[in-house]
Amino acid sequence: MSPIMSPTVTIPHEHYLNVSYGVKSWLFTTDHKRIALLYLTTITLLFFVGGAAAVLMRLELLTPPGDLVQSETYNKLFTIHGVIMIFFFLIPSIPAVLGNFLIPLMIGARDLAFPRLNLASWYLFTLGSICTIVVVVMGGVDTGWTFYTPYSSTYTNSFVVPTIVGIFVAGFSSILTGLNFIVTIHTMRAPGLTWFRLPLFVWAHYATSVIIILGTPVIAITLSLVALERLIGVGIFDPALGGDPILFQHLFWFYSHPAVYIMVLPAMGVVSELITAFARKRIFGYDFMAFSLIAIAVISFFVWAHHMFVSGMSVYASLIFSFLSMVVAIPSAVKVFNWTATLYKGSISYESPMLYGLGFIGLFTIGGLTGIFLASLGLDIHVTDTYFVIAHFHYIMVGGSVIGYLGGMHYWFPKITGRMYPEGWAKFSALLIFAGFNLTFFPQFLLGYLGMPRRYHFYPEEFQVLNVMSSAGASILGLGYVVPLIYLIWAMRYGAPAGPNPWGATGLEWQTSSPPPTHNFEVTPVVTQEAYAYAESTEDIKGGS
């Protein structure tokens, strides 16, 4: 199917982007759509800072000896890459940009429940980002993004406390976003929009918000305790007093494992929208899709110690956490099967968002299956702290979250800007990213299985071929990220007008004009049918305001 575009579509006379102009109209806005764009700008900048660190690491690993950077610098590079990409890009990416923009539109509301809190959360996020960037400029931090004690609390001389302040402040911002989403979804749905008529994107953000609300405060207090220990010289993780550094790991992973699902659940929500829109079918097993999101959110809180199988835990605890980690794979597998079943006998078309959607399913499956390897006690001990782990979580975080984010950005770009992007370039860069990603990270599975440990800037000669492949892939992947940056910025101004519903998709967000007016809908919509009513005639779907 090609986009349903009549030659008469134009940009509406007044919309949220042109109601007012000037820096103040953006910095003091309470419009969720404008705040989403503020977030978009901030996280895009941070993505390229975090990416630059990765480029330097891959350059260093091109050759076996440590010849480009010293080990200290390398430690700082992987730390800053991890801290920025996780806390300042992946966690806010889909929720704070797409979720912020779309949730009120998808539920037929005028805004989120607490618009000023929403703006405050962006300011907090920006403050935290500045903190972290200042740390990079001052000389960096070298603990790894995991801040394991007692190295982080006692031994390192790098800037741990300012980094923790940055993460703490940014954590507040994600708590406020999660709180806003939960309250909005509960109290502000349009008439007739029952829970089981909600798009799965909204369910995914609900589940994500629950994890944010329950997990983030724990990392906030845990990292604060590390900062306190550095400041006053004694702390509750201090072995000299009888404190236990492993307690830190438990508290850290209590947040940081569920955080993986903060990153991937929203992407699952995006993919459910993409697959249904471009297969032109209702989702297979809606109830199971909704409940599996909630199941993942709940189970994710009971698997944290699979990061600690070699840290010194009782074997029985390890067995239980190993079992629970495999249990969390079940709802994830339900989702993959249901997306696949949705494709079955669908009228599939391959626009660029769909390429990202299909890419997500494949890459997430590889990431998920290797996750089961890592949940198995015996195998995990063999590959702990090797590139196998690096490859596994990049398949989830890049192959899953980033691909989902990019797919969503393309799919909703016409709604956000009112214009289409160049489809040819979009397809080209989607393929570039898919190829570059696999070339970067698949060799790392092999490297890890052969025993190459993570976090070293030199390695034995026999690993060079695979490392060269990985670095070559990284350069393709990097190009794949730059190309969309250029054509999307170009299309904001020069793209062809998109019209309210260029994909012929269902969902309330496609019923209002593109870009939407400040209060989203001229009249509050009344919902009379399920979320993915594609099976009915396409004539119904083309309609809209």
Partner 1 sequence: MHMRSRRRISKVEADGALAEQFDDLAQQHEAASLGMWVFLVTEILFFGGLFAGYTVYRASYPEAFGEASHHLDRLLGSMNTAVLISSSLTMALAVHSAQEGRRRALIVCLLITMALGAVFLGIKGTEYAHKFTERLVPGLDFGYDGPYPGQVELFMLFYFIMTGLHALHLVVGLGLLGVLAVLAWCGHFSAAYYAPLETGGLYWHFIDIVWIFLFPLLYLIGTHS
Backbone angles phi, psi at 48, to 5 degrees: -75, -25
Distance from C-alpha of 270 to C-alpha of 273, rounded to nearest angstrom: 5
139 binds partner 1 (CB under 8 A): no
* Chosen residue from 62, 161, 236, 492 binding partner 1 by CB under 8 A: 236
Measure CA 536 to chain center. Answer: 33
148 binds partner 1 (CB under 8 A): no
Sign of CA dihedral 358, 32, 484, 435: negative
Q: Is 358 left (phi over 0), alpha (psi -120 to 50) or beta?
A: alpha
User: At its nearest, how many Å lie between partner 1 and the CB of residue 208?
Assistant: 14
User: At its nearest, how many Å lie between partner 1 and the CB of residue 531?
Assistant: 13
Per DSSP, 398 falls in state I
Which 179-198 positions form the footprint of partner 1 (CB under 8 A)?
Answer: 179-180, 182-184, 186-188, 191
Task: Return the number of the residue (23 or 523) whose C-beta is nearest partner 1.
Answer: 523
240 binds partner 1 (CB under 8 A): yes
Measure CA 494 to chain center. Answer: 28
User: At its nearest, how many Å lie between partner 1 and the CB of residue 214?
Assistant: 6
235 binds partner 1 (CB under 8 A): yes
170 binds partner 1 (CB under 8 A): no
Tell me how far CA of residue 161 lies from CA of 144, 156, 223, 331, 371, in angstroms: 14, 11, 9, 38, 32
Print the SS3 string covering 408-435: HHHHHHHHHHCECCCHHHHHHHHHHHHH
112 binds partner 1 (CB under 8 A): yes
225 binds partner 1 (CB under 8 A): yes
User: At its nearest, how many Å lie between partner 1 and the CB of residue 248?
Assistant: 9
Task: Return the number of the residue (444 or 513) whose C-beta is nearest partner 1.
Answer: 513
Distance from C-alpha of 32 to C-alpha of 43, rounded to nearest angstrom: 16
DSSP strand E in 160-252: where? none
Sequence-distant (6+) residues with CB within 8 A of 174 are 91, 92, 95, 96, 121, 125, 212, 216, 262
Residue 204 in contact with residue 290, Cβ under 8 Å?
no
Kindly write out the interface string for residues 254-293 of this chain, putting x where it contacts partner 1 by CB under 8 A and - elsewhere: x---------------------------------------
Task: Return the number of the residue (115 or 346) whose C-beta is nearest partner 1.
Answer: 115
114 binds partner 1 (CB under 8 A): yes
217 binds partner 1 (CB under 8 A): yes
Which among 159-167, 224-232, 410-418, 469-477 is the span making contact with partner 1, rule CB under 8 A? 224-232
Which H or E run includes 98?
none
Which 473-532 positions form the footprint of partner 1 (CB under 8 A)?
Answer: 511, 519, 523-528
Sequence-distant (6+) residues with CB within 8 A of 500 are 510, 511, 512, 513, 514, 544, 545
- 126 forms beta bridges with none
200-232 and 160-187 helices cross at what angle (nearest 10)?
150
Which among 52-60, 232-240, 370-378, 386-394 is the span making contact with partner 1, rule CB under 8 A? 232-240
Which is nearest to 454 in space by CA: 49, 142, 144, 246? 144
233 binds partner 1 (CB under 8 A): yes
113 binds partner 1 (CB under 8 A): yes
Distance from C-alpha of 163 to C-alpha of 82, rounded to nearest angstrom: 12
If binding means CB under 8 A, how many residues of this protein chain bind partner 1? 53
* Chosen residue from 97, 218, 271, 361 binding partner 1 by CB under 8 A: 218
Task: Return the number of the residue (65 or 543) whose C-beta is nearest partner 1.
Answer: 543
Task: Return the number of the residue (72 or 238) whose C-beta is nearest partner 1.
Answer: 238
User: At its nearest, how many Å lie between partner 1 and the CB of residue 536?
Assistant: 12
Which among 1-9, 219-227, 381-389, 426-434 is the span making contact with partner 1, rule CB under 8 A? 219-227
Distance from C-alpha of 77 to C-alpha of 89, rounded to nearest angstrom: 16
Which among 55-63, 125-133, 212-220, 284-292 is the span making contact with partner 1, rule CB under 8 A? 212-220
* Chosen residue from 85, 97, 175, 324 binding partner 1 by CB under 8 A: 175
Which among 59-67, 244-252, 452-460, 488-496 is the span making contact with partner 1, rule CB under 8 A? 244-252
Distance from C-alpha of 40 to C-alpha of 17, rounded to nearest angstrom: 15
User: At its nearest, how many Å lie between partner 1 and the CB of residue 126?
Assistant: 21
Distance from C-alpha of 471 to C-alpha of 63, rounded to nearest angstrom: 10
* Chosen residue from 11, 110, 329, 377 binding partner 1 by CB under 8 A: 110
Task: Let me know how long the chain is.
Answer: 545
Task: Return the number of the residue (115 or 362) whose C-beta is nearest partner 1.
Answer: 115
Structure tokens at 158: 């790098």
- Half-sphere exposure of residue 97, counting CA atoms within 13 Å on the CB side? 28
Backbone angles phi, psi at 139, to 5 degrees: 145, -5
Which among 110-118, 123-131, 441-449, 487-495 is the span making contact with partner 1, rule CB under 8 A? 110-118
214 binds partner 1 (CB under 8 A): yes
User: At its nearest, how many Å lie between partner 1 and the CB of residue 528?
Assistant: 6
Distance from C-alpha of 228 to C-alpha of 156, rounded to nearest angstrom: 15
535 binds partner 1 (CB under 8 A): no
376 binds partner 1 (CB under 8 A): no
Structure tokens at 475: 């350069």
Which H or E run includes 513?
none
Residues that bind partner 1 (CB under 8 A): 109-115, 175, 178-180, 182-184, 186-188, 191, 213-218, 220-222, 225, 228, 232-236, 240-244, 247, 251, 254, 511, 519, 523-528, 543-545
